[in-house]
């Protein structure tokens, strides 16, 4: 049974929490996590790059010279790709890079990412996180108490504007909820800080 320590906002260890073995205790599958990260990055691409073809470049309506007798190669337009100011041949056009992974693959990737954090000792569980006002200084103090000095992903059980806004200005810190948690973020951040209630929701979804 995988176990993690539960801390309060001041960094004091309160207890230990038994994690669901099927979610936080499996052997991480590197290939599946890699596929999930590639899928996430591909789906983030806007695909708005565009080049002008020979039909879209202005000009070039007149034939540069007659077909025969000049000694030049025959040309029909000064906007052909080989000409300066000509159109682009086979250039990129707006397209969607989105694709989806099999549901079982997505679930296995998520479990593998969570398990890898537990295995490396990079997952921290917070008993609760209550901030009375919008204050970055308070959030910095909480992270310092937890000895978090690198990139950290904070997983909330629900939307908490005060926590989110208080974390926005801290470099390397990102907040997310259980329903928007993804493999890329879990692996991209050094520390995974999860609220105790969020752990229950994660186990409810992926167990």
**Does residue 192 share a domain with residue 117?**
yes
As for how many domains the chain has, the answer is 2
pLDDT at 90: 94
**Does residue 160 share a domain with residue 72?**
no
Report field, pTM of the whole predicted structure over 0.85: no
Q: Write down the H helix ranges in 4-134.
A: 21-24, 30-44, 103-119
From 60, 75, 96, give the residue that closes a domain.
96
**Does residue 40 share a domain with residue 67?**
no
**Does residue 120 share a domain with residue 146?**
yes
pLDDT at 1: 65
What is the per-residue pLDDT across 176-192, written as a single tens digit (0 to 9) for each? 999 999 999 999 999 99
Q: How far apart are the first and last CA of the chain?
A: 14
**Residue 191 corresponds to which tokens in the numbers above?**
């520390």
**Does residue 19 share a domain with residue 68?**
no
**Does residue 119 share a domain with residue 181?**
yes
Contact 2, 21 (CB under 8 A): yes
**Residue 23 corresponds to which tokens in the numbers above?**
């979610």
- Describe the chain by its helix, strand, coil percentages, rounded to 5: 35, 15, 50
Whole domain around residue 67: which residue ranges? 46-96
**CA–CA gap between residue 118 and residue 107 (Å, rounded):** 17
**Residue 70 corresponds to which tokens in the numbers above?**
């000049």
pLDDT at 53: 95
**Does residue 175 share a domain with residue 106?**
yes
Q: Could you tell me the CATH number of the domain that includes residue 191?
A: 3.40.1370.10
**Does residue 114 share a domain with residue 174?**
yes
- Burial grade of 113 (CB within 10 A; 0-12, 13-18, 19 or more): buried
What is the per-residue pLDDT across 76-91, written as a single tens digit (0 to 9) for each? 999 999 999 999 999 9
- The mean pLDDT values, 10 residues at a time, for the chain of 207 residues are 84 87 92 97 96 93 94 95 95 96 95 94 90 89 89 91 90 92 95 92 90
**Does residue 71 share a domain with residue 9?**
no
**Does residue 118 share a domain with residue 192?**
yes
């Amino acid at each position: 049974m995988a176990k993690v320590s539960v801390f309060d906002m001041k960094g004091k260890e309160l207890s230990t929490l038994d994690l669901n073995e099927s979610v936080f205790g499996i052997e991480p599958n590197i290939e599946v996590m890699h596929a999930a990260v590639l899928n996430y990055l591909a789906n983030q691409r806007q695909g708005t790059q565009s080049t002008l073809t020979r039909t879209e470049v202005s000009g070039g309506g007149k034939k540069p010279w007659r077909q025969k007798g000049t000694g030049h190669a025959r040309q029909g337009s000064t906007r052909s790709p080989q000409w300066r100011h000509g159109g682009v041949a086979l250039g990129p056009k707006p397209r969607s890079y989105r694709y989806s992974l099999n549901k079982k693959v997505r679930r296995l990737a998520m479990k593998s990412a969570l398990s890898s954090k537990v295995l490396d000792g990079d997952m921290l569980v917070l008993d609760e996180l209550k901030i009375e006002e919008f204050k970055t200084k308070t959030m910095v103090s909480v992270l310092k108490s937890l000895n978090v000095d690198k990139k950290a992903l904070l997983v909330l059980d629900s939307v908490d504007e005060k926590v989110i806004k208080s974390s926005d200005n801290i470099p390397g810190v990102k907040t997310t909820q259980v329903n928007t948690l993804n493999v890329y973020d879990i692996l991209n951040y050094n520390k995974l800080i999860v609220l105790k209630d969020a752990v229950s929701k994660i186990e409810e979804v992926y167990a």
